[in-house]
Amino acid sequence: MAADPETALQFKKAKVVAAQIGKVRAAFDPKWKDVVSKLKAAIKAKQNDKIDLYLAALEGRLKELNKILRAATQARGELRGIEFDQDFVAANLAEVEKAVTTVSEAVDGLTEQFDEGKTLQNEAEAAATKFQGGANQAMTNLSALDGEMDDAKDELSALFKKQDAIHTRAANAAESRDAKALDKAQKEHAALGIDIALTMHEGLRKRVKEFGDKAASNASYSDDLKKKLKDGVKDIQNKAVGVDVYVEQLGLAVKRVKNLSVEEIDVGKAAKALSIDREAEAGLKKVLNGPASGFDAGLEQIGKKLKPPQKGKDMLAKLKSAGVL
């Protein structure tokens, strides 16, 4: 089978995106290493002013990282869809492999950096509180968490809408018994990185709770500051409740799409219902284990060869009546 011309157009775009991601990541990595090393040094040296400075820079880098990670995850999904065209991949293996490697390494590397950054962020926030008591820093940290929760709501809402169309295609493919279309939709859905997004959000919720617990037990904070921080944390947690609907639906969508399948039809039972002999059974198997859209035409061709001949629509009705379909 020849490669689909549309695949070539899709890959042309995906290849450009992969190259851009590679360049962006190459420019990002040195900046990331710089702020991480400086923040670690400031924490070790107990330099509170520099901790605040580099912490702010780290938070900016984390936002930048998130944008690149989302783009890389989306690009990985596009490439997985292209991989379904085996003829195209075979003819362009070196180029496809280069693009896949660039994007996969970006997703893996950026995910590790995100985890490293969040761990360091918590350590820096704890250090700033320890070294100064920092009412101003506490309010700054609260504000940052509030902003992250707002961003999470927007991102998960957008992700839910994006996956919904793919989820629908997957469900329709399973219902119509189109194994090829189902496999493609499942790969696209997996490539959205929903699990990563949900893990990040769960981490954010935990950090908000930890922040509130530490603020409540900080002996250096005044009662007035503790109240402000408690109220602020409560507001953020209330926002999180509004995000929960997306979290729940995204989690369910991942499970549902993974579990979709095209079950093999009992050809023996079908042959019996249609009074078809062994000779015609192979053709019947091919038709029934293909897309449902081809049932009528396929059965019509088989029916013409039977004695007496049968109409495709009549054969389809018999199979439904017998509980085969």
pLDDT at 280: 67
- Range ranked top by mean pLDDT from 26-35, 40-49, 182-191, 212-221: 26-35
Residue 2: pLDDT band with limits 50, 70, 90: low
Pair of tokens at residue 62: 């984390």
- Whether the per-residue pLDDT at 247 is higher than 80: the answer is yes
| Helices 93-132 and 135-175: angle between axes, nearest 10 degrees | 150
Give 227-245 pLDDT, tens digit per residue. 999 999 999 999 999 889 8
Angstrom CA distances, 321 to 113, 259, 272, 281, stand at 58, 27, 12, 19
What gap in Å lies between CA 140 and CA 232, rounded to an integer? Answer: 11
Distance (Å, rounded) from C-alpha 176 to C-alpha 155?
Answer: 32
Q: List b or e across 167-188, with b for residues whose CB sees 16 or more CB atoms inside 10 angstroms.
A: bebbeebbebbbeebbbbbbbb
Q: What distance in Å separates the CA atoms of residue 123 and residue 159, rounded to the nearest whole number?
A: 30
| pLDDT at 132 > cutoff 60 | no
For range 14-33, the mean pLDDT: 94
Domain 1-132 has CATH 1.20.58: yes
Rounded distance, CA 4 to CA 224, Å?
67
- So what's the pLDDT on residue 129? 61
Least confident span in 2-11, 239-248, 250-259: 2-11
Two tokens, residue 11: 């890959």
Please state, in angstroms and rounded to a whole number, the distance separating the CA atoms of residues 56 and 230: 23
Q: In the numeric block, which tokens belong to residue 22?
A: 């590679």
**pLDDT class for 323, splitting at 50, 70, 90?**
low
Predicted local distance difference test score (pLDDT) of residue 301: 74
In this predicted model, which residue has the larger pLDDT, 292 or 189? Answer: 189
Distances in Å between the Cα of 166 and the Cα atoms of 162, 173, 185, 192, 293 are 7, 10, 6, 10, 20
Q: In the predicted model, what is the mean pLDDT of the chain?
A: 86
What pLDDT does 313 receive? 75
Q: Is the pTM of this model over 0.75?
A: no
pLDDT-based confidence at residue 77 (cuts at 50, 70, 90): confident
Is residue 142 predicted with pLDDT exceeding 60? yes
Under 8 Å between Cβ of 295 and 287: yes
pLDDT category at 61 given cuts 50, 70, 90 is: very high
Least confident of 129-133, 210-214, 296-300, 320-324: 129-133
Separation of alpha carbons 312 and 319, rounded Å: 11
* Residue 202 reports pLDDT greater than 80: yes
Q: Which residue has the higher pLDDT, 8 or 132?
A: 8
- Residue that has been written with the tokens 């997306």 in this structure: 246
Tell me what pLDDT residue 106 has: 94
Q: How far is CA 226 from CA 123, 194, 308, in A?
A: 20, 36, 87
Token couple for 275: 């009074």
